[in-house]
Amino acid sequence: ARPQSLVLKVDAANTACEDVLAIAKVAVMEFLEDSNATARHINEVEMMEKEKCYLYVDHSNIASSGLHIRAEEVHELVLGPREARDRHLVGSYAGSGQNEDTWVAWRDLGYQVHVCQRPEGVGEQFVDDALIAQMLGALSRHIGQDNSDKTLILLSGDGNDNAGRSSFASVIQSAIFDYKWNVEVWCWKHSCAALYHHLQEIAPDQMSVRYLDVLRD
């Protein structure tokens, strides 16, 4: 709660008048700084609560660090107090390596989970295109609207060109410059494509790169 009053206790009998005034001045300045910081924090939280988020998880990318991470921890870190309007996770597994508990955990958080099996020794297929389709669908549903309260959140540091098809990078650029959305890319620091940092530099009010590495602590 925001402080309403300032109580200053000074031993007047043993403190010179000018010293009392100096102490009071410092105390008042600190009080005002604390009050302003509290007001700013309340305003930031209120703005975040009005924000509408659309989350898209490239599970294979965020799980590739070798670190076991819990779906709940990732979701809470990324979303915070904001409202989730759309939640999709796409992943794949080789052979009989499916971990059903992983998909259940994400489904329990309200995500639509799309999973496919791939042959042993074959790299990712389907994942990028499936997520891209979901992201483009969300953007297209809000054409012509004021999208300043909408944030597209991609959990992946992958910046490849997707063999010349629509890619994460091209969708993000379109979201920022064509549809006027805000965009967040969450990923591991070591696996973040340089392009995302570049977009953050040229559109800092709309684009931000954030790291999952805090979950290692």
CA distances from 185 to 37, 78, 200 (A): 27, 10, 10
Q: What is the pLDDT of residues 123-159, one digit of tens each?
A: 666 789 999 999 999 999 999 999 999 999 999 999 9
Rounded CA separation 99/93 (Å): 8
pTM, full prediction: 0.76
At residue 2, the 3 state secondary structure works out as coil
Which is nearest to 206 in space by CA: 134, 145, 153, 128?
Answer: 153
Q: What average pLDDT values come out for the chain (217 residues) when binned by 10 residues?
A: 56 63 77 60 49 95 77 96 96 73 94 83 75 97 94 96 92 97 96 96 98 86
User: What pLDDT, on a 0 to 100 scale, did the predictor assign at position 6?
Assistant: 61
User: What pLDDT, on a 0 to 100 scale, did the predictor assign at position 31?
Assistant: 72
User: What pLDDT, on a 0 to 100 scale, did the predictor assign at position 107?
Assistant: 96
